A = this chain, B = another copy of it.
């Protein structure tokens, strides 16, 4: 009991062997992460429809909570683009952006999603994330990247563009096209070109100069902070904000007040579905990222404990005025490359960001929104993965269809509809596939004890005996299909007296399939055909023993198909051994 409780606090384990060397690594990583991810944190808060300080708040306590409960040594938890977009879409349906109700709903969403993650962790329901297939996630992320980029055009153009999907965004872009602010557009375009060049060409240039890949990686990732510093300085110096370039303005200094979020029961009910989807996406994305990072250092993470860590982080975010958070790709990569060794690096990052929040928020006054918009656009365009769409489509039309539907519905309708469509479609396609299981009529390979498909191999068969092999577990989705298949088969072979269902690939027979077997048994009985089973697996047999099916079965259950063959085939002749011997050489 005590051990199990301690298991919920993985920090106890690693803190025992914590030493000065680890601290030095973690602390230097924390400082680098703090500097590099601050522009992102502010930008993602704006993406979520919240004031910039919410991005700072969501980077402090959640990181501490994850350090206590999480198992990924280098996963950095905080605001991420995808979840910020989902939060904006969910809350935007309920409240007007910028109102107090909007902030309350954002906090409530983080709280519900945190509680859901926590409950899923305690009940070990991590397998629920298996509902989302890779193609669905892939289509969803690509579409979200495009949506986020489109939504950030408002900052680049300095106009009021908003909407939950491409159609709404295009419409509002069309309406506001006349109001473009030229200086803002200039700042935005320069920032985009600069950030794009740094991201895509700097590393190659640096490696030609013989600079170490890790260092050049860091330099590439410092692009946003350089753009922020330069642009902020420029605006402050030449007074661009008077030309209509929108700036962040006053950011309240000091740590956030702690407290439970308000909100009515109706609000919480309205947020249940989006909160669930956010929990699932948070879990899938964070855990696959944590897996990848851990694998590089041959470490392991514990997915069920990760649910607790992510749940605690979201609850901590809600208690401190933040919004929904997750393990972020770019902040985790920076953390990893900067040499973080334990989750303490996250807690130390939180400390640094806390210090920034207390002392340096005035520095953000002249930071132009256009720079933050450009940062987000360049960051999310890496989410767009056209190659994987092509590959998935080539590999499987089913998976490709699931991917494309998710992509298109997300773009044209919105994130919630998109991911729900994807999940539903991939389940339907899977069920459709298993609802028509592969099955084959088999015959005996001459002279052997093997039975194979009569259409692929030269086999010995018997007009009185039919043997059908089913290559799938029998369950509700394919039970009726099996009935139809057998009824069709028996009509084709009028001399039939015995039918053997060969079950080596049947791992499970559920109650629906059992009813179908009973129906098949009854129908064959009416037609004077005995039903036999062969090669039934142990656990399946145990279950059948509990039912009344075996009593009603007109035939037998054979350990092997060969035994069934010997008994049923022999029964037809006076001198079976000789008969079989004679047949073998043909």
Which listed segment binds B: A65-73, A429-437, A458-466?
A429-437
Is A396's CB under 8 angstroms from B132's CB? no
Q: Which of A529-565 contact B (CB under 8 A)?
A: 543, 546-548
In the complex, residue of chain B having the shortest beta-carbon distance to the beta carbon of A511: B399
Which chain A residues numbered 492 to 509 have a C-beta less than 8 Å away from chain B?
A: 505, 507-508
Q: Name A511's contact: one of B395, B507, B510, B546 (CB within 8 Å).
A: B395
Closest chain-B Cβ to A521's Cβ sits at a distance in Å of: 12
Most buried by B among A131, A132, A478: A131
Q: Which residues of A426-446 are within 8 A (CB) of B?
A: 426-428, 430-438
Chain A positions 340-396 with a Cβ under 8 Å from a chain B Cβ: 391-392, 394-396
Interface pick from A102-110, A222-230, A320-328, A468-476 = A468-476
A172 within 8 A of B: no
* CB <8 Å contact, A547 and B395: yes
Bound complex: CA of A260 vs CA of B142, how far in Å? 44
Q: How far is the CB of A9 from chain B (nearest CB, A)?
A: 22
A14 within 8 A of B: no
Instruction: Tell me which of B134, B394, B508 contacts A515 (CB under 8 A).
Output: B134
Cα-based distance from A473 to B437 in the complex (angstroms): 11
CB neighbours (8 Å) of A431 from chain B are 130-131, 427
Partner of A133, one of B471, B512, B548: B512
**Are B134 and A476 touching (Cβ within 8 A)?**
yes
Residue of B nearest to A477 (CB): B130
> Which single residue of chain B is at the shortest CB-CB distance from A513?
B134
Q: Tell whether, in the assembled complex, residue B511 and residue A435 are in contact, meaning their CB atoms are under 8 Å apart.
A: no
Cross-interface CB contact of A476 among B426, B476, B512, cutoff 8 Å: B426
Q: Find chain B residues with CB under 8 A from A452 CB.
A: none
Q: Residue of B at shortest CB range from A133?
A: B476
Q: Is A18 an interface residue (CB 8 A)?
A: no
User: 14 additional contacts, CB 8 Å, given A300-B487, A398-B510?
Assistant: A127-B432, A127-B436, A130-B476, A130-B481, A134-B476, A134-B511, A395-B511, A396-B543, A427-B431, A430-B475, A434-B473, A438-B507, A471-B505, A472-B473
21 pairs across A/B with beta carbons < 8 Å? A127-B435, A127-B477, A127-B481, A130-B431, A130-B435, A130-B478, A130-B479, A130-B481, A131-B477, A133-B511, A134-B512, A135-B512, A295-B523, A300-B487, A303-B484, A395-B543, A396-B511, A399-B512, A427-B427, A430-B475, A438-B507
Pairs of residues from A and B, 6 with the lowest C-beta to C-beta distance, nearest first: A133-B476, A399-B511, A134-B512, A130-B477, A133-B512, A392-B511
Residues on A lying within 8 angstroms of B by beta carbon are 127-128, 130-135, 295, 298, 300, 303, 391-392, 394-396, 398-400, 403, 426-428, 430-438, 471-473, 475-481, 484, 487, 505, 507-508, 510-512, 514-515, 523, 526-527, 543, 546-548
